[in-house]
Amino acid sequence: MAESNTRIALITGASRGLGRSAALKLAEQGMDIILTYKDNGNKAQEVVHQITALGRKAVSLQLDVGDSGGFSAFAGRVKGALLDTWQRDQFDCLVNNAGTGLQAPFAETTEEQFDMLVDIHLKGTFFLTQKLLPLIRDGGRIVNISSGLARFSFPGYAAYAVMKGGIEVMTRYMAKELGPRGISVNTIAPGAIETDFGGGAVRDNAQVNAQIASITAMGRVGLPDDVGGAVAALLADGTHWISGQRIEVSGGMVL
Ligand code: NAP
């Protein structure tokens, strides 16, 4: 198999928001990118064009992280993309980012809502990573995206935060079990960031925005590049010895 030194990162949910920013930051840093989307193929294609304009290669693939039954077929499509575009059979970095939130009081959260979050965040991160393991090279990296809400508690996020707490435990076990292959695994836990997430409330609701800014050391809410830059830094050369860690990227929320 022909090998090049260019590192390849696979980022789930990179058509918008934090994943898109991470993809562009990593491309600026010299990486090639496989990015996924669920519905917004056009937006994913725009990101591909932006990465290509930076002189890097990129491919976008459709993926529903809430449907673990589709993960084997997805791994096959990743393998095909690696062969077609890079003449390689493995990639270097996986960023488990795709996801949606849920705002519902503990007393009113339904089993259906809970199960939906389990499928996307817990089963998604666990079994997608499992299926992709043969395609990740020894010495590679994995970043799982959690949330500040796994540390501090805001009413209305019980079910969502439980999932993110699970992702943080999962990260430590992945780090332990994949360490012998030289793969480091870490959690990045963003604070509240201006994206479409949660109906875009942090970005579009001035009251919410000001309230979060008031409890953030840096005095404002986060922007996508605040997190994209952190993901890129954690996947840069020279940081592979960091493993099993939770790094909060929140500008110092609720310190
Ligand atoms: P976003 O702007 O809503 O973007 C979500 C991305 O994930 C999109 O690319 C979307 O694809 C994809 N996606 C959504 N559901 C999916 C599914 N079931 N299967 C596959 N892909 C799916 O959200 P974001 O703010 O960037 O959030 C990214 C991650 O950060 C999530 O895990 C979220 O929990 C976490 N997070 C966000 C915040 C925040 O304040 N924004 C804070 C803490 C943690 P389409 O475009 O095709 O729909």
Rounded Cα distance, 248 and 251, in Å? 8
DSSP-assigned letter for residue 219? S
pLDDT band at 117 (very low <50, low <70, confident <90, very high): very high
CA–centroid distance, residue 146 to ligand 1 (Å):
11
Per-residue confidence (pLDDT) for residue 52, from 0 to 100: 98
Whether 137 is in a domain gets the answer yes
Per-residue confidence (pLDDT) for residue 1, from 0 to 100: 52
For ligand 1, what atom is nearest to the CA of residue 19? 26
pLDDT at 3 over 70: no
Whether 212 is in a domain gets the answer no
Across the chain, mean pLDDT equals 97
Could you tell me the residue range of the domain that residue 27 belongs to?
8-193+223-249
Structure tokens at 115: 């199960």
CATH number at residue 26: 3.40.50.720
Give the pLDDT mean for 135-149.
98
Whether 13 is in a domain gets the answer yes
Whether 215 is in a domain gets the answer no
Domain count, the chain: 1
Per-residue confidence (pLDDT) for residue 5, from 0 to 100: 86
Give the pLDDT mean for 117-144.
98
Give the pLDDT mean for 200-215.
96
Per-residue model confidence as pLDDT tens digits over 28-73: 999 999 999 999 999 999 999 999 999 999 999 999 999 999 999 9
Q: Which residues are catalytic?
A: 160
Q: What is the CA radius of gyration of the chain?
A: 17
Return the sign of the alpha-carbon dihedral for residues 73, 23, 169, 122. negative
Output the ligand 1 site: residues, CB below 6 A. 12-19, 37-40, 43, 63-66, 97-101, 120, 145, 147, 190, 192-193, 195-197, 202
Contact 60/39 with Cβ under 8 angstroms?
Answer: no
- How many Cβ atoms from other residues are within 10 Å of residue 69's Cβ? 8
Whether 214 is in a domain gets the answer no
For ligand 1, what atom is nearest to the CA of residue 64? 19
Give the pLDDT mean for 191-207.
95
Whether 157 is in a domain gets the answer yes
Whether 140 is in a domain gets the answer yes
Whether 209 is in a domain gets the answer no
Per-residue confidence (pLDDT) for residue 200, from 0 to 100: 96
Rounded Cα distance, 86 and 3, in Å? 8
pLDDT at 205 over 60: yes
Give the pLDDT mean for 205-230.
97
